[in-house]
Structure 1
Amino acid sequence: ENSEDSCQSHSSDRLTYSQTAPSSNARYPPYNAAILPKVPEVLRKRQYRVGLNLFNKKPERGIAYLIGRYFLENSPLAVAKFLLTRKGLSKQMIGEYLGNLQNSFNMAVLEMFSQEVDLSGMQVDVALRKYQTYFRMPGEAQKIERLMQVFAQRYCQCNRDIVAKLRDPETIFVLAFAIIMLNTDLHTASMKAENRMKIDDFVKNLRGVDDGYDIEREMLEGMHHRIKAQEFRTGHDHVTQVLKVQQTMVEKRPNLALPHRRLVCYCRLYEVPDSTKKERVGLHQREVFLFNDLLVVTKIFSKKKNSVTYSFRQSYPLAGLTVMNKETQHYQYLIEIRQRVDNKPLMSFNARNEHDRTKFCEDLKESISEMDEMENLRIEGELEKNKASLRSSRPTSTAENRDSGVADMEVISTGSDKSTLTTDMATGNGGLVTGTLKRTTLSNSLIDMHEAGL
């Protein structure tokens, strides 16, 4: 779907348009066609991308939106499979969603999520490395603790032969937690080499952890060597590609690598200061990057054999823009970009050919429509907040005050092991209660990841 190579081939003079995530061809999960609303396919795809955008800003809201528009079944298993398999979801936001300890639906999703990951036949650190490629580990110790608890349960299910050699299955949880701490210690850039945890320190810290007995030193040494050689890394997502583009830009530029931002296409265009005046062909060459919410205009800064860097020129948020195709005496493939509110012209470009203009404008118009829908949802949300605030400010009885009018996430138990997501008053299952001395000690000893500079 998203070609990482497309960002590396811009140095070719022959390449003038490169589509990385076709906005008209977004794939969304299959669903029961009998209950789908009858809307045009282009609108259906746009709604799906809006749902992804919402998830990448506020995960719970995105999931609720996707369920409400029948892209997702209302069950923890369906959401878990969605998080594991669909492109366009920020690994950081998946971690935020799975680490929301106060939401019991999210915790049910975490359980199902872990059940879908096969950890068979792996050493604990190798299994944990695989497990955390699906999401970015949250920074808070309490959230990490819960994730490691669920990981340990799944590891024990997949590796009964390995666990049978231990005196206490709880050892896997403690070991997983210690591995996360070791990875942080060994790969925090600000930490001096002499202060990093040595093999002997790692072994000493885990002395007597298996119900009073030691874990085999050879096993722990292998873990230390593997983690020191290769840092745990989250798997690639759409932000990975955006970051690659950002790293090619020099001088002042906005921070592009945000969880909700994805690269749609790249196009080589030529800026037109005045469409009534003829200028030399090829003058004002611009390399234009279209993201789902932002248009970024750059100029080639330097070219080398296998790389190219760009100087940032301008950027325009897409919401509220309009695009017009024109043909003048001097410019056959003219593109005008204006503000919708006052029809004020922002920028004009000329494309090399009709193909480039058509494809670029199709993507640009669809991305603008996507952002207009996002803006509409934002305004609707603000109006709902204002209405709720007005209601809550009125004197009401205790019974009337039960319904604040604020739509929020709630999980209703159906009397079985299934949970469903509804929009009503907020609820949760409280924090994670740790029941053993070992867990408490580990939790208290772990510095939050964000404090460690990660």
Structure 2
Amino acid sequence: MISRCFVNELDLSGMAVDVALRRYQAHFRLPGEAQKIERLVEAFARRYCVCNTDFVQRLRTQDTIFVLAFAIIMLNTDLHTPNLKPEARMSLDDFVRNLRGIDDCGDIDRDMLAGIYDRVKASEFRPGSDHVTQVMKVQATIVGKKPHLALPHRRLVCYCRLYEIPDIHKKERPGVHQREVFLFNDLLVITKIFSKKKSSVTYTFRQSFPLCGMLVNLFSVPHYPFGIRLSRRVDGRRLATFNARNEHDRCKFAEDLRESIAEMDEMEAMRIEAELNRGKGRNTGNAARNVMENRDSGVADVEIDHQQCMDHVHVHGVVVPPPPSCPAPAAPSRLSQNPPPTSIIKRNVLSNSLVDINDPVALAAERLQRRGSVGSLDSGMSVSFQHGSRTALASSPRHPPDQRSPGRLFGGIFPGRQRKLSASGVLDTKQGPVAKSTEV
């Protein structure tokens, strides 16, 4: 949508396809992704057909402009890639051959294609100059371990030559510790001249400081009358101390630096405010989501019957105290003499329980303690599996012990070889070690 609105502001009337595409591409840098290039070329082809209706009417389909524009971009890449050998580059015949039948199985005029090829070969498609172009030029002149400077939001504010002061109370020779300072809108880069030639100058990277939270103080001492001190607002730590050549340089540099610092502080405050607002919105959404998720934990809600929560419950002669979760019964109200109706647990509520609903003993034990499971997904369950197992064992009816011999305990299930008895009636252990059995 943005590309369509942008291209509608361009007048491409009376231009050749490659000339119009060159003007269109000068406003931005082509991305490396093919899908993004396709969308940009599609917007260009639509606008070119609107501005050049006479030329488009001679074609069989309007899609020809889209295919031709894409082929021109590929031709520009092939002809001006530095890593490609000259003999491997696309020739005019190759360019014409690749475009055969693009006009709805028809061919485009060869003379027009030859003109496009010559113009693209003579001049590479380049984006127009902007604020990043100047930053890229500065970055190319700095050597050493430097930060990446060419960013879309960064622009060069000014350049100034200053002299670094190691000690304000010690006099240095004039011109010692000369520094070339590049002030960007968000960064201060300090360099030193590495080599100076007639055609170019190379700088060595020394250090850099972000402008956010920086303080600028001007001072004057006998040895350095045009002093500039840079420090941090948070802890007051001194970053660097310079001396300018004259009062004009000091005032101009300090003014630009303070203006850039104020701009960065304002942008940082806006960023923090936006982050806080985004965090509040995220917390509100998470709280609402947690309420909806925790509303149903996967276990059916069971109303507590205060009449059934007695002080002690007798299960097969065993006195079981009521669970801690069972509240104390409320005193009967004077306004009502009838007892409150008891809640009845329906069968479908505990349909997946291991407790038989028809067993009154198991039902009483179920009222005392909520069911637990080792693989349960309920994060709100506080009942441990071991405690539930002990309660189930305590509440289960006790059967008389089996009077059968240990050897015949699992004889009906796992038939095996009978152990022989010795002449004295003692179990013969020569057949092998006796396996230890676990009481069930």
TM-score by length of 2: 0.63
Q: Which one of the candidate residues 251, 254, 257 is aligned to 1:361?
A: 254
Matched residue, 2:219: 326
CA shift for structure 1 position 292: 0.5
CA pair 398-185 structure 1, distance change in 2 beyond 3 A: farther
Identity %: 65
Matched residue, 2:21: 128
Matched residue, 1:313: 206
Matched residue, 1:340: 233
Matched residue, 1:384: 277
In structure 2, distance between residues paired with 1:304 and 1:143: 42
Where 2:157 maps in the other structure, the secondary structure is strand
Matched residue, 1:374: 267
Q: Which one of the candidate residues 84, 90, 103 is aligned to 1:191?
A: 84
CA shift for structure 1 position 158: 2.1
CA shift for structure 1 position 225: 2.0
In structure 2, distance between residues paired with 1:393 and 1:195: 59
Q: Which one of the candidate residues 245, 248, 253 is aligned to 2:138?
A: 245
Matched residue, 1:277: 170
Where 2:188 maps in the other structure, the secondary structure is strand
Residue 227 (str. 1) matches residue 113 (str. 2) = no
CA shift for structure 1 position 252: 2.3
Q: Unpaired segments of 5 or more residues in structure 1?
A: 1-106, 400-454
Matched residue, 1:118: 11
CA shift for structure 1 position 378: 2.2
Where 1:297 maps in the other structure, the secondary structure is strand
Superposed counterparts of 1:11-410, under 5 Å: 107=1, 109-396=2-289
In structure 2, distance between residues paired with 1:381 and 1:111: 30
CA displacement, residues 273-314 of structure 1 (integer Å, 9 cap, x when unaligned): 111111112211111110101111111112222422211111
CA shift for structure 1 position 359: 0.5
In structure 2, distance between residues paired with 1:115 and 1:253: 41
In structure 1, distance between residues paired with 2:169 and 2:291: 69
Where 2:32 maps in the other structure, the secondary structure is coil
Where 1:194 maps in the other structure, the secondary structure is helix
CA displacement, residues 47-89 of structure 1 (integer Å, 9 cap, x when unaligned): xxxxxxxxxxxxxxxxxxxxxxxxxxxxxxxxxxxxxxxxxxx
Superposed counterparts of 1:420-431, under 5 Å: none
CA pair 312-396 structure 1, distance change in 2 beyond 3 A: closer
Where 2:42 maps in the other structure, the secondary structure is helix
Amino acid at match of 2:35: Q
Amino acid at match of 2:156: L
CA pair 398-135 structure 1, distance change in 2 beyond 3 A: farther
Where 2:75 maps in the other structure, the secondary structure is helix
TM-score by length of 1: 0.61
CA displacement, residues 323-344 of structure 1 (integer Å, 9 cap, x when unaligned): 0000112111100000110111
Where 2:112 maps in the other structure, the secondary structure is helix
Where 1:190 maps in the other structure, the secondary structure is coil
Where 1:394 maps in the other structure, the secondary structure is helix
CA shift for structure 1 position 318: 0.7
CA shift for structure 1 position 200: 2.1
In structure 2, distance between residues paired with 1:377 and 1:189: 44
Q: Which has the larger radius of gyration?
A: 2
In structure 2, distance between residues paired with 1:130 and 1:308: 33
Amino acid at match of 1:159: N
Where 1:346 maps in the other structure, the secondary structure is strand
Amino acid at match of 2:92: I
Amino acid at match of 1:119: L
In structure 2, distance between residues paired with 1:197 and 1:377: 51
Where 2:240 maps in the other structure, the secondary structure is strand
Count of aligned pairs between the two proteins: 293
Matched residue, 2:316: none
CA shift for structure 1 position 398: 12
What is the root-mean-square deviation of aligned Cα atoms in Å? Answer: 2.0
In structure 1, distance between residues paired with 2:95 and 2:273: 53
Where 1:301 maps in the other structure, the secondary structure is strand
Where 1:168 maps in the other structure, the secondary structure is coil
CA displacement, residues 233-288 of structure 1 (integer Å, 9 cap, x when unaligned): 11011111111111121222222111111100011111001111111122111111
Where 1:302 maps in the other structure, the secondary structure is strand
Higher helix share: 1
In structure 1, distance between residues paired with 2:50 and 2:291: 48
Amino acid at match of 2:119: R
Q: Unpaired segments of 5 or more residues in structure 2?
A: 293-440
Q: Which has the higher contact order (CA 8 A, sep 6+)?
A: 1
Amino acid at match of 1:372: D
Where 1:189 maps in the other structure, the secondary structure is coil
In structure 2, distance between residues paired with 1:393 and 1:370: 34
CA shift for structure 1 position 202: 1.8
In structure 2, distance between residues paired with 1:145 and 1:233: 18
